[in-house]
């Protein structure tokens, strides 16, 4: 934390996002979309798993790669960072605000959200496919108007 950030926010810090420990919500939708998302997720998971196992079996390779893949998927399945988009710096996060430390925290949460997004997609798509296979489809209805229509 720089001196400018300490002086700028010592009395009134800006809003900081939060980290939720929840699994990905069900997407719902038509069964065809759920199946296509599951196939794409399986393809991504197969490619990354093949790369991790190939690296682990190589001479001088890292046997830790499959364990890191499982840890990443477990982390992305339950951790959902949500930065506060109103306090993320200038130009939508491209330029740092030198007077706020809270925008640094929000930028870190944004980085974590982007880094965990592929894992959340894979886990969410596979969970939706399992729900569909069990006959427990989730139907996401559009929001209603104020008139009740």
- Give the residue, 10 or 89, on which the prediction is more confident: 89
Give dist(CA 6, CA 61) in Å, integer: 45
- Give the residue, 56 or 120, on which the prediction is more confident: 120
Give dist(CA 148, CA 144) in Å, integer: 6
Domain residue extents for the chain? 29-133
- The DSSP H or E segment spanning 124 is helix 102-133
- Residue 21 DSSP one-character state: -
Split at pLDDT 50, 70, 90, the class of 95 is confident
pTM reported for the whole predicted model:
0.76
Give dist(CA 110, CA 82) in Å, integer: 7
- Give the residue, 49 or 7, on which the prediction is more confident: 49
The whole-chain average pLDDT of the chain stands at 82
pLDDT of residue 40: 97
11-65 residue pLDDT tens: 666 777 888 898 888 887 788 899 999 999 999 999 999 988 887 887 777 778 8
Specify which residues 18 forms β-bridges with. Answer: 82
């Amino acid at each position: 934390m720089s001196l400018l950030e300490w002086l700028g926010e010592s009395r009134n810090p800006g809003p900081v996002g939060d980290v939720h420990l929840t699994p990905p919500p069900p997407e719902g939708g038509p069964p065809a979309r759920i199946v296509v998302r599951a196939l794409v997720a399986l393809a991504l998971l197969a490619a990354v798993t093949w790369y991790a196992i190939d690296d682990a079996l190589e001479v001088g390779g890292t046997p830790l790669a499959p364990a890191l893949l499982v840890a990443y998927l477990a982390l992305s399945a339950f951790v959902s960072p949500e930065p506060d988009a109103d306090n993320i710096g200038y130009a939508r996060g491209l330029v740092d605000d030198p007077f706020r430390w809270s925008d640094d925290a929000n930028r870190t949460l944004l980085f974590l959200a982007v880094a965990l997004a592929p894992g959340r997609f894979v886990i969410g798509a596979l969970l939706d496919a399992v729900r569909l296979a069990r006959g427990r489809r989730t139907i996401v209805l559009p929001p209603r108007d104020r008139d009740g229509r």
